[in-house]
Chain A
């Protein structure tokens, strides 16, 4: 290497002065431009949010939402109060869908496997020949593979296609489907009825492996009805949960039992025998038998108001027995008729592919190569199709094995329709033109059917034309405005008496039984490239950026494993590597792993994170693996969590107040400690007379994280990435803490959402040297970003640990992975400042919503109405109530006088504005009780 030539003195000075000049020039204000419309849409106000009613799907089922757009940019999702599967609330997946829309990893063009980027016209030409051949042969080689379809338009299109080409077949693969439940209904009633339980009418509920309060398309409806009933202590009832590993339902249970999967049949048989089933007496562990006995007694007592729910992981026979028990108990369950036309399943497609019977395979909007059970070896089998196309929003694993990949438009970009689990239909309307040139699934189906190219809008309208009657335009506008189509729910049917199934024999213990569960953040893996969901702490384990094999401490000790050890899980010659996490409440000789991780082609955010459970699943038992071998590897990996890196011994009962139902009548409300002596002047309101406060009902909180992601979406909260999380840094303004006052074997846990307390005597304020942390007259504890110099004294002095520091420019300048892309910036809420590096931030009680409400009231000269924070409007169980202490009759005033009321760490004399209602449980004295 030649020696570096040093610059001469003159050059060095020249460079220095040029640098200074350039630096000074950069200080000038950047020139900004104002770009008005050419033709302005009527009634559109610049910068003012507009709400559109639409629907988003989860596993094919609709959740009605209001999508909020500012100047044509969708920025936020809220629930649609008129929709039966939303009821005005959302879940994590709906909240995070807005980020998916802007995902820079979405596919932007049609691509051909060999030649790469292509135009839509080329894809159409390539499709013409195989389609023409299929048409000549009445569709004999044509196969259509979709996820669950509830869209009436899509069903109409597929039915028309199958009528025109009678030899063609339609297959459905939904990774987290209800196949076992439907087969169970077939065994019990002779038809595949879909059961929709009504927890609002059920006093005693027993879940055997079921997690109805956990992630899924029915989560909002179920948890709302369940918690609304529980608001009345007289109707509190009791929830029994027997499950492999702790779920959200397990946390909320009044009696919970860690049940080995192989004992589920025995538990259900014991319950059924209590109702006169006369099944062979099962051989159960003593604890399980005691649990079964107590549950059976309670269920029988609540005849007509009792309900049994069986988890999807369990065999169809168990579901059939569940149906029989519900029939006997006259349980509040509505049955809905099976789908029509009934599609074939994935195994049939695999067989057809093996026979070489598939000349043209079209995969629409699903990713079977990742989500199909591994023994179907779909990646290899799809290669046997003569011609294959895949339409999806991302160039995912399936796109990697088909001949063509077509970009699919996002649900917020396309016209469609969807049904809720109760059959209620909604119209799906676009908020923006497709950002990346995608087409809707209806437009692609029209292409496959060889119909002239027509817009999705016309295809959807054609479906509903007859329904609208004479005034179709009026009907259509009404349906679009409301977000639901009136009277479109399917009427429940009477399935007739249920039969008792023959139960399978009790499997012998071989290896570890692993339950594969829906991930509370990624669902089935479709949201793997969503950074908000990757960084959303899982409700129970609080793990982020990955999944882990949950084992009990006993099981781990037996196998010589510690938390963080990497193990190889083997099954039928296939193996995956997963990290071990020791969790409370996991059954003996069992483990649990969530699905959706370990994706090789998710995108820049989701690639290669965690372990892929699908690689062990089999078509026969896709969700429950018996006899998994566990081999310890000589490697350790970190389980990233946002809680539990500090243990608070003995404080749980003080921080998380729990009351047994029987003690409720003696309970007294605990105040915020306003009577304690203090050196500070008491808080006095201002002339405007608002005093904002929040009360959070920990009894109603199901830990679903909808509030956490809603806050992130509303307040431009950045993602920090796994490396920063490993350093103990996170940015969520609202976290949901899990408290467990039980033991690892007997969990007694609950959820506590913790936003800023907006203390009247806030410890963060006097320590700030630059007065960046100040109070306003309405009682808000403000953080003034442009004053903050980043000393972090406030964070150190905050006893609730709710302040978050921008160690780097997470939102601005140094974003994680693709989070700084121009398209992602379009999601930002224009009414909230994007915080810079070196600045402290925290929950503001959604000050922008308060300010907007105030300014609108001021503008119109009327008193200010109620304000809903983002977390409050997202909450499925209405656990969060925000209001004004100075307004007579405000709901928060009544909640502050509730006997369960208490404040967090009121002994510190902080006088928090955010307060809590204690957790309420109804333990069964026969099971020793809890709390």
Chain B
């Protein structure tokens, strides 16, 4: 009788069976990897803006405080995007004819708001509050990165739930004194863990158990 299968067929069959079992595992792993990849989180994507506003120039170069434009950051959940009026408080005096600023001048003249493209987008069931984080000693650059070096703003952190929880479960490494919150050049001291723990206590930062509860961020 002629053999239908060659001796190697067994090996092939085993390989096929093994890969059938492995495929779902790989698939799940791939999906995880995809969701956490910068491609999915839109990390480090630089977006075109109607006016190429440079934080590098205004913050790094001129040293303008964050709160000059983001006025509500200490009071409200949303930090506030400056109205055209704020831009024009300086640019009615300097660079008054720069072609780059034409949309800003048009906006004020026509009473039509500038439409900025959002860089940091959270899902709609997440309720992040800037004021509380600022009050508890989380600095701007902790999440937004070295903003003073960015010509156009990009999202530095992945903004995934896991990333949020890393800090909510252990805030000490990311806390700084309140007076340094808006200091973009602040660097952690060598004993940051101990200093952060002291700050957490001084600022009444809630326990990691409480901070990792669903109701802290979701409603």
CB-CB nearest 10 A-B residue pairs: A36-B81, A37-B83, A32-B118, A40-B83, A34-B116, A45-B76, A47-B78, A776-B213, A38-B84, A859-B131
Are A36 and B114 touching (Cβ within 8 A)? yes
Chain B residues within CB distance 8 Å of chain A: 42, 72, 74-78, 80-86, 107-108, 111-118, 121, 123-125, 127, 129, 131-132, 135-136, 204, 206-207, 209-210, 213-215, 218-219
Q: How far is the CA of A784 from the CA of B127 in the complex (A)?
A: 13
Interface residues on A, range: 35 or more
Are B76 and A38 touching (Cβ within 8 A)? no
Complex A-B: 8 CB contacts under 8 Å: A34-B116, A37-B84, A46-B76, A687-B207, A786-B218, A833-B218, A847-B219, A848-B127
Q: Which residue of A lies closest to B129 (CB)?
A: A855
Are A777 and B84 touching (Cβ within 8 A)? no
Chain B residues lying within 8 Å of A851, measured Cβ to Cβ, are: 127, 215, 219
For A812-843 the 0/1 string (1 means CB < 8 A from B) is: 00000000000000000001111000000000
For A35, A36, A45, A774, the residue with the greatest tally of chain B CB atoms inside 10 Å of its CB is A36
Chain A residues lying within 8 Å of B78, measured Cβ to Cβ, are: 46-47
From A37, A844, A848, A855, B132 is in contact (CB under 8 Å) with: A855
For B113, B121, B129, B215, the residue with the greatest tally of chain A CB atoms inside 10 Å of its CB is B215
Are A46 and B80 touching (Cβ within 8 A)? yes
Chain A residues lying within 8 Å of B85, measured Cβ to Cβ, are: 37-40
Are B206 and A33 touching (Cβ within 8 A)? no
Are A861 and B214 touching (Cβ within 8 A)? no
Q: Which residue of A lies closest to B76 (CB)?
A: A45
Are A38 and B108 touching (Cβ within 8 A)? yes
Chain B residues lying within 8 Å of A35, measured Cβ to Cβ, are: 113-116
From B116, B118, B213, B218, A777 is in contact (CB under 8 Å) with: B213
Q: Does A785 contact B (CB under 8 A)?
A: yes
Residues 223-240 of A at the B interface (beta carbon under 8 Å): none
Q: Does A634 contact B (CB under 8 A)?
A: no
Q: How far is the CA of A778 from the CA of B211 in the complex (A)?
A: 12
Q: Does A638 contact B (CB under 8 A)?
A: no
In the assembled complex, the CB of A545 is this many whole angstroms from the nearest CB of chain B, namely 30
Q: How far is the CA of A181 from the CA of B48 in the complex (A)?
A: 70
Are B132 and A686 touching (Cβ within 8 A)? no
Are A33 and B83 touching (Cβ within 8 A)? no
In the assembled complex, the CB of A856 is this many whole angstroms from the nearest CB of chain B, namely 8
From B135, B206, B214, A784 is in contact (CB under 8 Å) with: B214
Q: Which residue of B lies closest to A858 (CB)?
A: B132
Chain B residues lying within 8 Å of A32, measured Cβ to Cβ, are: 117-118, 121
Q: Does A581 contact B (CB under 8 A)?
A: no
Query: If the complex has contacts A29-B121, A855-B129, are A687 and B206 also in contact, measured as CB distance less than 8 A?
Result: yes
Are A833 and B210 touching (Cβ within 8 A)? no
Chain B residues lying within 8 Å of A784, measured Cβ to Cβ, are: 214, 218
Q: How far is the CA of A786 from the CA of B131 in the complex (A)?
A: 25
Chain B residues lying within 8 Å of A858, measured Cβ to Cβ, are: 132, 135-136, 204
Chain A residues lying within 8 Å of B136, measured Cβ to Cβ, are: 858
In the assembled complex, the CB of A122 is this many whole angstroms from the nearest CB of chain B, namely 28
Are A831 and B132 touching (Cβ within 8 A)? no
Q: Which residue of B lies closest to A836 (CB)?
A: B125
Main secondary structure of the interface of A (DSSP, over half): loop
Q: Does A796 contact B (CB under 8 A)?
A: no
Q: How far is the CA of A40 from the CA of B87 in the complex (A)?
A: 12
Residues 834-876 of A at the B interface (beta carbon under 8 Å): 834, 844, 847-848, 851, 855, 858-861
Q: Which residue of B lies closest to A780 (CB)?
A: B215
Q: Does A782 contact B (CB under 8 A)?
A: yes
Q: Does A286 contact B (CB under 8 A)?
A: no
Q: How far is the CA of A40 from the CA of B115 in the complex (A)?
A: 15
Residues 208-226 of A at the B interface (beta carbon under 8 Å): none
Q: How far is the CA of A79 from the CA of B112 in the complex (A)?
A: 36
Chain B residues lying within 8 Å of A776, measured Cβ to Cβ, are: 213-215
Query: If the complex has contacts A39-B83, A786-B218, A851-B219, are A833 and B132 also in contact, measured as CB distance less than 8 A?
Result: no
Chain A residues lying within 8 Å of B82, measured Cβ to Cβ, are: 36
Are A45 and B75 touching (Cβ within 8 A)? yes
Are B214 and A686 touching (Cβ within 8 A)? no
Chain B residues lying within 8 Å of A832, measured Cβ to Cβ, are: 219
Chain B residues lying within 8 Å of A847, measured Cβ to Cβ, are: 215, 219
Q: How far is the CA of A707 from the CA of B113 in the complex (A)?
A: 39
Chain B residues lying within 8 Å of A1, measured Cβ to Cβ, are: none
Q: How far is the CA of A688 from the CA of B111 in the complex (A)?
A: 47
Are A688 and B210 touching (Cβ within 8 A)? yes
Q: Which residue of B lies closest to A35 (CB)?
A: B113
Chain A residues lying within 8 Å of B206, measured Cβ to Cβ, are: 687-688
Q: How far is the CA of A844 from the CA of B125 in the complex (A)?
A: 14
For A11-48 the 0/1 string (1 means CB < 8 A from B) is: 00000000000000000010111111111100001111
In the assembled complex, the CB of B34 is this many whole angstroms from the nearest CB of chain A, namely 11
Chain B residues lying within 8 Å of A786, measured Cβ to Cβ, are: 123, 125, 218
Chain A residues lying within 8 Å of B204, measured Cβ to Cβ, are: 858, 861
Q: How far is the CA of A848 from the CA of B127 in the complex (A)?
A: 10
Q: Which residue of A lies closest to B80 (CB)?
A: A46
Are A36 and B123 touching (Cβ within 8 A)? no
For A29, A40, A774, A861, the residue with the greatest tally of chain B CB atoms inside 10 Å of its CB is A40
In the assembled complex, the CB of B44 is this many whole angstroms from the nearest CB of chain A, namely 15
Q: How far is the CA of A602 from the CA of B182 in the complex (A)?
A: 56
Are B121 and A859 touching (Cβ within 8 A)? no
Query: If the complex has contacts A31-B117, A34-B118, are A785 and B218 also in contact, measured as CB distance less than 8 A?
Result: yes
Chain A residues lying within 8 Å of B210, measured Cβ to Cβ, are: 686-688, 777
Are A37 and B113 touching (Cβ within 8 A)? yes
Q: How far is the CA of A782 from the CA of B207 in the complex (A)?
A: 19
Chain A residues lying within 8 Å of B72, measured Cβ to Cβ, are: 45-46, 48
Q: How far is the CA of A380 from the CA of B219 in the complex (A)?
A: 54
Are A831 and B127 touching (Cβ within 8 A)? yes
For A41-72 the 0/1 string (1 means CB < 8 A from B) is: 00001111000000000000000000000000
Q: How far is the CA of A784 from the CA of B215 in the complex (A)?
A: 8
In the assembled complex, the CB of B43 is this many whole angstroms from the nearest CB of chain A, namely 12
Chain B residues lying within 8 Å of A844, measured Cβ to Cβ, are: 219
Q: How far is the CA of A861 from the CA of B131 in the complex (A)?
A: 12
Chain A residues lying within 8 Å of B132, measured Cβ to Cβ, are: 855, 858-859
In the assembled complex, the CB of A831 is this many whole angstroms from the nearest CB of chain B, namely 7
In the assembled complex, the CB of B71 is this many whole angstroms from the nearest CB of chain A, namely 8
Chain B residues lying within 8 Å of A33, measured Cβ to Cβ, are: 115-118
Residues 738-797 of A at the B interface (beta carbon under 8 Å): 774, 776-778, 780, 782, 784-786
In the assembled complex, the CB of A728 is this many whole angstroms from the nearest CB of chain B, namely 28
Chain B residues lying within 8 Å of A833, measured Cβ to Cβ, are: 124-125, 218-219
In the assembled complex, the CB of A685 is this many whole angstroms from the nearest CB of chain B, namely 10
Query: If the complex has contacts A777-B209, A784-B214, A848-B219, are A34 and B77 also in contact, measured as CB distance less than 8 A?
Result: no
Chain B residues lying within 8 Å of A45, measured Cβ to Cβ, are: 72, 75-76, 80
Q: How far is the CA of A38 from the CA of B214 in the complex (A)?
A: 37
Query: If the complex has contacts A686-B210, A776-B214, are A36 and B84 also in contact, measured as CB distance less than 8 A?
Result: yes
Are A34 and B80 touching (Cβ within 8 A)? no
Q: Which residue of A lies closest to B218 (CB)?
A: A784
Chain B residues lying within 8 Å of A774, measured Cβ to Cβ, are: 214
In the assembled complex, the CB of B207 is this many whole angstroms from the nearest CB of chain A, namely 5
Query: If the complex has contacts A29-B42, A47-B78, A858-B135, are A38 and B219 also in contact, measured as CB distance less than 8 A?
Result: no
Q: How far is the CA of A599 from the CA of B77 in the complex (A)?
A: 45
Q: Which residue of A lies closest to B116 (CB)?
A: A34
Q: A48-B76, A687-B209 are in contact. List 4 more A-B contacts (CB 8 A).
A: A32-B121, A34-B81, A686-B209, A777-B209
Q: How far is the CA of A688 from the CA of B107 in the complex (A)?
A: 47
Q: How far is the CA of A39 from the CA of B113 in the complex (A)?
A: 9
Residues 863-895 of A at the B interface (beta carbon under 8 Å): none
Q: How far is the CA of A774 from the CA of B83 in the complex (A)?
A: 41
Q: How far is the CA of A311 from the CA of B84 in the complex (A)?
A: 61
Query: If the complex has contacts A855-B129, A855-B131, A858-B135, are A38 and B112 also in contact, measured as CB distance less than 8 A?
Result: yes
Chain A residues lying within 8 Å of B114, measured Cβ to Cβ, are: 35-36
Q: Which residue of B lies closest to A834 (CB)?
A: B124
In the assembled complex, the CB of B102 is this many whole angstroms from the nearest CB of chain A, namely 15
Q: How far is the CA of A479 from the CA of B29 in the complex (A)?
A: 64
Are A34 and B76 touching (Cβ within 8 A)? no
